[in-house]
Amino acid sequence: MAEHSMFTGRAVSPEAGMPEVFDLARSWLETCLLHHSGCGRPGTASLPTRVIDVGPSDGSKEARLHLSNGELGEWVSLSHRWGSQKILTTVQSNLQAHCQQLPWSSSSKTFQDAIEITRELGFHYLWIDSLCILQDSSDDWVKESARMGSYYKDATLSIAASHPNSAEKGILAKRESVLFDGSADFATMVPCSLSDGTSNIYIRKQLLSFEDMLDSKLFNPLELRGWVLQETMLAPRTLYFTQEQIIWHCRTCGRVEADRNPILLASLPLNWTNPKAFIALNGASMTVAASSEDSDQPPDAHGAWLRIVIDFCGRKLTYADDLFPAISGLAREVHRMTGDTYCAGLWRGDIARGLMWYRQAPVKETPKYLAPSWSWASKTSAVDGGMDPYFMIQNTRVLEGTSLEVIDVQLEYATSDPFGKLRGGRIQVKGWTWNAHLSDGSLDAQEKTDKNPPSPSHRKAETTKGDQVHVNKLDVRDEARGMIYSLDTEESLEEFLKTDETDSPFLALGVGVLQDASDVARRYDTDMMSGLLLRKSTQVRGAYVRVGIFDGDAEGCRRDPWKLSVVDIV
């Protein structure tokens, strides 16, 4: 059927496994490899430790596991959800058997389809986590999980099983969602008279756009998975198999099966970020993920990292222990770009912004140790990098000379990977501090004075309404200083204070004075002092733990006594 230049739409095949779909995917891949210099050239990287040899394209030989021994080559990586069904895995007892042949009948439909797609696209090797990592070997898992970022970054292509039911029905499932309601047809023909003759127009159901499909976790549930964030951001090219169509996404452009025209990612609105722009092939380029429409500041890798944390914390992990390993590949990229020191999910060179995270919503926390209290990773809830995910990252700058100084960082790693799991951690900083006394705002000042005689410093401050604070759920207001303390705890302030086993006051530690933040200026009409609310640790002598944050009028802080202190936080 001839295509008319005034129409850019294209027919969508009823099944993803049809020859015309693979022809289209091959043409997209060829165009990228030949013409997209920004997407890189494959073939210069070492193969993963183990890959699946898919055999010839005609399927005349069964797929098997291949031990690469450091040889160079090209491969395809799979992004998928494990699902609730038991899937085939490689363990120490079946490793040798899998090197001879992977049992086809025991393989999930997703794995079978991934092997077929790899063959159809002309590749010899495929990497799948559950088959290429020994699932019963903690040593192998630690070693291979540390390399997973490179297994996607250096792959020629990543296949994304984005169909909502792909875990059960496979990647090449029938596209029932594109059918007209109550019809078995994928398109309806309408006769049309054009200036150059009579033709036919085919009308089909409207499909999701490129941006909407990739952003929608409803239609692309793969993006709910924590591990997939780095798989998407690091892979130079991703071919999505969705419930409606195939979608191409590389560092240069996006393409959809339903439209003949490519989508140049640089032309998209700034509120849609291209995750693949994160990677800098020359080590100098930054990412649009940290840029903003109303900021004339260049994007920065540290700001991009805070956005990564925000996105990552909204995703799901089956195991809490995977928290750091699941983004270790992205952390390695930030280290490559900046040379900065990684500190339990934060960066030493951007410590002021990194420390100022807060909890968006109360959720059940794991009792398992994940990170020191000053790291966002210590709370397995949704968190925001910075005071606010918008102004803190994009517009706010820390006023020179007001940021706390990092003296030392000590981390105890659970494995040999410095970007992986932790057993403990301590940060020693120098900054401005003052005593903060918290009290239950349900009582007036006189009642509190009668029932709980304040300390001398508190009594002195009360004469000027100094340290008087009031509570509203997790927010505690210090009206004298113009401060608002936001507690990390889910408890009421009354319950929170009952758990305080020390009689010493809380310590407020200034992180820095924030300046030149357009949204902050409109909201507060002033510079802000932001910092951490600490209290003495009950487990580590002489150290403090984070229990919240604060922000408020920087001038208000300067009016009250404060001192320069060295503080250890665990």
Question: 52-72, pLDDT tens digit by residue?
Answer: 999 998 888 999 999 999 999
Contact 80, 56 (CB under 8 A): no
Q: What is the percent of the chain with per-residue pLDDT over 70, rounded to a whole number?
A: 69
SS3 at position 237? strand
Asked if the model's pLDDT at residue 315 lies above 60, the reply is yes
pLDDT, greater one: 199 or 165: 165
Q: Give the residue from 494, 515, 384 showing the smallest Cα distance to 448.
A: 494
- Band the pLDDT of 304: cuts 50, 70, 90: confident
Instruction: Please report the pLDDT score of residue 359 as a whole number.
Output: 72
Only one residue has tokens 């790693």, namely 413
Token couple for 304 = 């991009």
- Band the pLDDT of 476: cuts 50, 70, 90: low
**Mean pLDDT confidence for 541-563:** 78
pLDDT, greater one: 105 or 518: 105
Instruction: Please report the pLDDT score of residue 270 as a whole number.
Output: 45
Q: If you average pLDDT over every residue of the chain, what do you get?
A: 78
pLDDT, greater one: 210 or 237: 237
Evaluated on CA atoms 153, 167, 312, 543, the torsion sign reads: negative
Beta-strand pair 237-241/157-161 = parallel
Count Cα atoms within 13 angstroms, Cβ side, for 327.
26
Asked if the model's pLDDT at residue 340 lies above 90, the reply is yes
Q: Give the residue from 287, 408, 289 showing the smallest Cα distance to 343.
A: 408
Which range is least confidently modeled, 338-342, 388-392, 460-464, 562-566? 460-464
DSSP code for 277 = G
Angle between helices 19-35 and 109-120 (to 10 degrees): 60
- Band the pLDDT of 79: cuts 50, 70, 90: very high
- H or E stretch at 398: strand 397-398
**β partners of residue 552:** 483, 529
Only one residue has tokens 């393409």, namely 255
Asked if the model's pLDDT at residue 493 lies above 80, the reply is no
Q: CA-to-CA distance for 47 and 65, rounded, in angstroms?
A: 13
DSSP code for 17 = T
SS3 at position 540? coil
Instruction: Please report the pLDDT score of residue 457 as a whole number.
Output: 29
Amino acid at 285: S
Instruction: Please report the pLDDT score of residue 211 as a whole number.
Output: 74
Asked if the model's pLDDT at residue 261 lies above 90, the reply is no
Asked if the model's pLDDT at residue 287 lies above 60, the reply is no
End-to-end CA separation in angstroms for the chain: 68
Cα-only R_g, the chain:
28
Q: CA-to-CA distance for 116 and 99, rounded, in angstroms?
A: 19
pLDDT, greater one: 234 or 15: 234
Q: If 0-12 CB within 10 Å is exposed, 13-18 middle and 19+ buried, where does residue 337 land?
A: buried
* Highest mean predicted confidence (pLDDT) among 38-42, 358-362, 381-385: 38-42
Asked if the model's pLDDT at residue 148 lies above 60, the reply is yes
Instruction: Please report the pLDDT score of residue 320 as a whole number.
Output: 86
CA-to-CA separations, 209 to 201, 256, 310, 418, in angstroms, rounded: 21, 8, 24, 40
**Mean pLDDT confidence for 403-427:** 95
Only one residue has tokens 């078995």, namely 184
3-state SS record for 344-359: CCEEHHHHHHHHCCEE
pLDDT, greater one: 93 or 1: 93
- Residue 77: φ, ψ to 5°: -110, 150
**Mean pLDDT confidence for 429-451:** 59
pLDDT, greater one: 447 or 298: 298
Q: Which residues contact 243 (CB under 8 A, 6 or more apart)?
A: 162, 163, 164, 165, 173, 175, 176, 177, 219
Asked if the model's pLDDT at residue 402 lies above 90, the reply is no
Instruction: Please report the pLDDT score of residue 517 as a whole number.
Output: 47
Asked if the model's pLDDT at residue 357 lies above 90, the reply is no
Which range is least confidently modeled, 12-26, 332-346, 389-403, 504-518? 389-403
Token couple for 114 = 């991934």
Asked if the model's pLDDT at residue 103 lies above 50, the reply is yes
The predicted-structure confidence for 271-286, as pLDDT tens digits, reads as follows 456 778 777 433 434 3
pTM given for the model: 0.84
Instruction: Please report the pLDDT score of residue 267 as a whole number.
Output: 60
Instruction: Please report the pLDDT score of residue 515 as a whole number.
Output: 63
Q: How far is CA 379 from the centre of its chain?
A: 15
DSSP code for 502 = -
